[in-house]
Amino acid sequence: MASRVRATGNNFILASLLATLSYLPFQLVAQFTLIVCVLLFVVDPFPTSRLAPKLILANNKAIKAALIDISGTLHIGDEAIPGAVDACRKLFQYNHQLKVVFLTNTSKVSSETLLHQLRDMGFDESCIPDRDAILTSVNATRQYLVTNELRPYCLVEDDLVEKDFQGVEMNDPNCVLVGLAPSKFSYDKLNGAFRLLSKLKGELEHADCGDKPSLIAIHRAKHYRDSDHQLSLGPGGFITLLEQTAGVTAHVVGKPSHAFYHAAVSSLGVDPANVVMVGDDVVGDIKGSLEAGLGGAILVQTGKYTDGDELGNKTDGVLPTLTLRSIVEAVDCICFCVEKGTTSTT
């Protein structure tokens, strides 16, 4: 319908201008022709972003909550994605009808540092109220380590160890913990992790140690969009290296873990079928959330998105409910549906 409305509007403008041009000298006609080209091809008088696209959750459920990815969806590096600040502010204007939580696999900095960085980018309390509005895979990992009495050999940045893993015992390690830690992925560090995993595997084969995993991944993203807007290596490749060389399988705590999504939904107190996920990662955000039972997932074409991600080639055929240009369009769509009290727009 958006294309039909836009075409009708453009045709009306064109017809009006042509009628006017028939009464003008040639020189003015040429000038007006240039203006027409600008109007039709540069300044879009009927942008599709103003026309809410169709969003239908599974079983036509109403939208009661939204999970919003952070890195690549709200910002890239230390720059907010254009319109993202206002989009988040708009979400919280519907807080009487819509519950919102921000999810992130960010494991390069602590939760405290992350919130400070977001504040510096313009995401004030009207956009992201406080740390309680953010669920991080780092915090989920800390809880997992404590609950299972795991003492990690850490391939994570010092900022995380100092601020987010306080109180976690790390002497005499009985597992390896991996996050996004560029400063820790040296040969010596990786070899140390490999040797520990090999030792632990041998001990497990000769003792009844239960099902505790020896390799813990905060997440295993293959890549992410860096501050220079180029793709950079994520921790996924290093986790695969350790799995294959040590002969173990990593336990992933963050996205796309079903447990991580279930924890987020549980914190909101809503049915998963009434929740929509918004993110730039077709595997972690889209496939992960839909397979965890969420009602819908919107893929945004920012961050780590690459052409064709929405076609299902990377997700075993699991497709996003919608693919939109950015968080701005996603929020417009969600808020329109919430305002109308339905999941479907025309």
The model carries a pTM of 0.76
Per-residue confidence band for 41, with pLDDT thresholds at 50, 70 and 90 = very low
Q: 104 with 110: CB under 8 angstroms?
A: no
Give the per-residue pLDDT at 342: 54
* Torsion angles phi and psi, residue 340, rounded to 5: -85, -5
Q: Which CATH number fits domain 139-252: 3.40.50.1000, 3.40.50.12640, 1.10.10.10, 3.40.50.1820?
A: 3.40.50.1000
What is the rounded average pLDDT of the residues 135-147? 91
Q: Is the pLDDT of residue 49 over 90?
A: no
Give the per-residue pLDDT at 8: 43
Stronger pLDDT, 199 or 209, i.e. the higher one: 199
Q: How far apart are CA 331 and CA 209, in angstroms?
A: 47
Q: How far apart are CA 7 and CA 116, in angstroms?
A: 45
For 10-24, 49-63, 243-257, 288-302, which range has the lowest pLDDT when averaged over its residues?
Answer: 10-24
Count of C-beta atoms within a 10 Å radius of residue 298: 27
Per-residue confidence band for 145, with pLDDT thresholds at 50, 70 and 90 = very high
Stronger pLDDT, 303 or 54, i.e. the higher one: 303
Per-residue confidence band for 188, with pLDDT thresholds at 50, 70 and 90 = very high
Give the per-residue pLDDT at 208: 56
Residues 6+ apart with CB under 8 A from 63: 55, 57, 98, 274, 275, 276, 295, 296, 334, 337, 338, 343
For domain 58-105+255-340, the question of CATH label 3.40.50.1000 is answered with yes
Cis peptide before 256 (omega within 30 of 0): yes
Q: Are strands 65-69 and 275-279 parallel, antiparallel or unpaired?
A: parallel
Stronger pLDDT, 244 or 5, i.e. the higher one: 244
Per-residue confidence band for 345, with pLDDT thresholds at 50, 70 and 90 = very low
Q: What rounded mean pLDDT belongs to the chain? A: 85
What is the rounded average pLDDT of the residues 198-222? 81
Q: Convert the pLDDT of each residue in 213-261 to its tens digit.
A: 899 999 998 988 888 888 899 999 999 999 999 999 999 999 999 999 9
Stronger pLDDT, 96 or 195, i.e. the higher one: 195
DSSP type of residue 284: I
What is the rounded average pLDDT of the residues 209-215? 77
Q: Is 306 in a helix, a strand, or coil?
A: coil
Beta strand extents in the chain (DSSP E only) = 65-69, 75-76, 79-80, 99-104, 134-136, 152-155, 175-178, 215-217, 223-225, 231-233, 251-252, 275-279, 296-300, 322-324
Per-residue confidence band for 204, with pLDDT thresholds at 50, 70 and 90 = confident
